[in-house]
Chains A and B, each alone.
Chain A
Amino acid sequence: SQTIHQWPATLVQPVGSPLSLECTVEGTSNPNLYWYRQAAGRGLQLLFYSVGIGQISSEVPQNLSASRPQDRQFILSSKKLLLSDSGFYLCAWSTTDTQYFGPGTRLTVL
């Protein structure tokens, strides 16, 4: 069966520091991968999606970036965090019509 992992589970970072969140999927090949953010009172916002290695589409311009160095690995990065980057970050995968979500990373920027 397929599983999706995210780490770290929680992260507290100062403003201006870099960020790297990692997502990996097991048990499937060539999945579509997605990064979402949930900020308080703002629902789920799609940040990036990828249909293959090195193929990244950005949905919202911001100071975040994403990379997909391997088929089942998706990384969310930032060079300098802003207070507004705080939130709950969710990774998801799909191979057909359904998206399946990871456990999430709670990021607090102070």
Chain B
Amino acid sequence: AQSVTQLGSHVSVSEGALVLLRCNYSSSVPPYLFWYVQYPNQGLQLLLKYTSAATLVKGINGFEAEFKKSETSFHLTKPSAHMSDAAEYFCAVRFFNDYKLSFGAGTTVTVRA
């Protein structure tokens, strides 16, 4: 069955430290992959997306993600965390020939001063 998994429901990092959020998918055909960010009581904002072009994708706010077909992963990273990065992050997958997005359960990021 097709699915998407985010490892770790909560991640705490120090300001200036690396942010790494993990996302794995299960599909025989490489899907479209997305990362969204949600601040409290707001909608989801697109951070970046992979749609079968370059495997290293750069997004907004200094985030980037790398598509690794062999590992069926699309992990999100940011070299240096800022306080403003505190939010919930969702990995989402659009499987082949499907209108819908499948979302991971989300990862809440806390940034320590």
Q: What residues make up the interface of A, taking CB atoms closer than 8 Å to B?
A: 6, 32, 34, 43-44, 46, 49, 51, 59, 88, 90, 92, 94, 97-104, 106
Residue contact A101 to B49, C-beta cutoff 8 Å: no
The chain B residue sitting closest to A99, CB to CB, is B101
The chain B residue sitting closest to A100, CB to CB, is B46
Interface residues of B in 25-76 (CB under 8 A from A): 32, 34, 36, 41-46, 49, 51
Residue contact B99 to A43, C-beta cutoff 8 Å: no
The A interface is mostly helix, strand or loop, or mixed, namely: strand
Q: How many residues belonging to B are interface residues under a CB distance threshold of 8 Å?
A: 21
Chain B nearest CB from A71 CB (Å) reads: 17
Q: Kindly identify which residue among B46, B90, B99 contacts A98, using a CB–CB cutoff of 8 Å.
A: B46
B36 contacts which chain A residues (CB < 8 A)? 101
B32 contacts which chain A residues (CB < 8 A)? 97
Residue contact B99 to A51, C-beta cutoff 8 Å: yes
Q: Kindly identify which residue among A6, A46, A51, A90 contacts B44, using a CB–CB cutoff of 8 Å.
A: A90
Residue contact B44 to A49, C-beta cutoff 8 Å: no
A104 contacts which chain B residues (CB < 8 A)? 41-43
